[in-house]
Structure 1
Amino acid sequence: MAELEVAKHGKNVIHLMGKKEHELAHKLREIALEIAIIVFAVSMSIWLHGLSEHHHKQQEVKTFLLGLKGDLEADVRQLDNIKEGYRGFDANYAYLASLDPGRQPDWAKFKEAYAKSDANWYFIPVKSRYEGFLMSGRLTNIENEKLLTAILSLYQMQLPQIQTSEGGWSTRQRKLRDYREDQLEGDDEQSLFRVTTTPKGKRLLRDMNTTPQLYERYQSYIGQSQEIIKMIAEAYPAEKAR
């Protein structure tokens, strides 16, 4: 529509310049008016285009944030389960480390605990949506600076910290696993019990106790996620995560 107006008034300017029946001053006033109309039409077109583009970007931000809210809710549920899982691991390793090599254990309980001691559980966040929005360069379209900072802090700082702590736990478990493989002479319950109750075996089991730092980092991620969820819910109170 604006392009048609510009073309129309552009033709008027050319037409006025060619008229001979009007005085120069009159023609200049007419031309100036037509040029002013053209400038206004162009400016209005640019403003409307910018407004439309901004609206489109904010719709993309809205869709992203509502989806992210659902992703973080899933992450919080996963971390709550993982924390409980690690408490179970701690109790299991503590039981194995407490066994007296001179006393026969409850063999059914022992074998179950031994099998569980090889299990592990790591946090796998739902972050494909975040990574896609980040890689596309659209993350900076989030106009709420506090919310943007919180999201970046969560994924760029807190998540790597969790992965570092989980890596330390994994390294200790690998040492325990390697020791068992080196020392085991069979897979019968007596062999498993012997390697479990050696001084080194008991020390490696005690080392498997989850550090307070890992629990703290899980909880910090949960707290930050809940804060982001709250901010998104306040920004779009009538919407649900998609």
Structure 2
Amino acid sequence: MQEEEIEQSRTVSGILRNAKRSIKGKIQTIVIEIIIIVFGVTISIWLQGRSQYKNQQQEVKEFLADIKTDITDNIRMMAKANASLSQVITDFSYIEKLSKKQYDSIARGPRGDTFLSEMMSAHIILRRSSDGNYEGFKSSGKIGYIENKKLKKLILSYYQQKIPSLLEVDKYYNASVSRITDYSIEEADKQEREFLFDPKLRAILSVTLNMAQSSKAAYELITKEAQKIIAEIEKEERR
């Protein structure tokens, strides 16, 4: 394009030096040449812009495909964590309401030897969050390429607010579960019945139960947000 502009400039210069042409003719010809130059430059800029836009949208398409996979994996991991939390809520709610008389009845039955291990099997939640693709795209300043404003808002909210908040929820829940383990070790000499109805253990179980309920609610909320993102990405894929 630059070579064409130089050639057009030479043409204009040649017109001005042409003594056989009238001033009016020269001006008309120069105006036409200028229009041609401006038109050529405009078309060139437009084509470059279209090419750049196409490349940007291809990057967006690849990015959305990548985070769709990431978020789908996150949904699966959250489902597993949620199932574990549901079991903890069921078991700890039962223990919280259990009376000594009920326990004595259970202890005399076939479940007596395994009751405590079955009902207090809360596990620490170990969940990795797949955010490498998002962080890479964001750090390169390309999030703005996403034209779907609703989708962009959902993605930003999910990665910048929802996932960090869920990590905090996990941290507090895991700390509460660890307290049960630590207290079990501290009071290892106690008989099961005495340990199970220990006021301090009951307090720890109550806190853990509340944390499990809060965590479950958080997982369900964020899972819905993740599903919204998947749905919006699939809309983009059908466009």
User: So what's the TM-score if we normalise by structure 2?
Assistant: 0.82
State the one-letter code of the partner of 1:221. Answer: I
Counterpart amino acid of residue 106 in structure 1: G
Q: Which residue of 1 aligns with 2:112?
A: 106
> Which of residues 164, 170, 176 is equivalent to 1:172?
176
The match for 2:13 is 14
Q: When the two structures are aligned, how many residues end up with a matched partner? A: 231
Q: Which amino acid aligns with 1:83?
A: N
Give, as a single letter, the amino acid of the residue that structure 2 aligns with 1:121: I
Determine helix, strand or coil for the equivalent of 1:230. helix
Which among 147, 150, 153 is matched to residue 146 of structure 1?
150
Equivalent in the alignment of 1:71: 70
The more displaced of 42-51 and 99-108 is 99-108
The DSSP-based 3-state class of the residue aligned with 1:107 is coil
Asked if 1:37 corresponds to 2:63, the answer is: no
Aligned counterpart, 1:230: 231
CA distance in 2, matches of 1:206, 1:56: 55
Give the AA of the match of 1:143: E
1:199 corresponds to which letter in structure 2? P
Cα distance in 2 for partners of 1:147, 1:176 equals 42
- Structure 1 residues not aligned, in runs of 5+: none
Corresponding residue for residue 216 of structure 2: 215
Paired position in structure 2 for 1:61: 60
Alpha-carbon distance between aligned partners in 2 of 1:180 and 1:125, rounded to the nearest angstrom: 31
Deviation at 1:219, TM superposition (A): 1.2
Question: Structure 1, residues 116-172: CA drift from partner, whole Å, max 9, x if none?
Answer: 34x211443221111111111101111111111111122222223322322321232
Counterparts of 1:53 and 1:153, CA distance in 2? 28
- Alignment root-mean-square deviation, CA: 2.7
Displacement after TM superposition at 1:58 (Å) = 0.7
Q: What is aligned with 2:89?
A: 90
CA distance in 2, matches of 1:191, 1:133: 56
**2:204 corresponds to which residue?**
204
Partners of 1:142 and 1:148 within 8 A in 2: yes
Identity %: 24
Question: Do the aligned partners of 1:94 and 1:205 also contact (CA within 8 Å) in 2?
Answer: no
Deviation of residue 92 (structure 1)? Answer: 4.5
Aligned partner of 1:132 among 136, 147, 156 = 136
Q: Which digits, 9 at most, give the CA deviation of each residue in 1:159-212, with x for residues without a partner?
A: 233223223212322333343344445xxxx66775454221233123221443
AA at the equivalent of 1:145: K
Shift of 1:55: 0.9
Larger mean CA deviation between 71-80 and 203-212 belongs to: 203-212
Kindly indicate whether the alpha-carbon contact (under 8 Å) linking 1:96 and 1:110 is maintained by their aligned counterparts in 2. no
Distance verdict in 2 for CA 1:79–1:47, change over 3 Å: same
- Listed as ranges, the gaps of 5+ residues in structure 2 are none
Indicate conservation of the 8 Å contact 2:67/2:134, yes or no: yes
CA drift of 1:223 comes to 1.1
CA distance in 2, matches of 1:16, 1:223: 70
Select between 151-160 and 54-63 the one with higher mean Cα deviation.
151-160
Aligned to 2:167, the other structure's residue is in SS state helix
Q: Distance in 2 between matches of 1:212 and 1:174?
A: 17
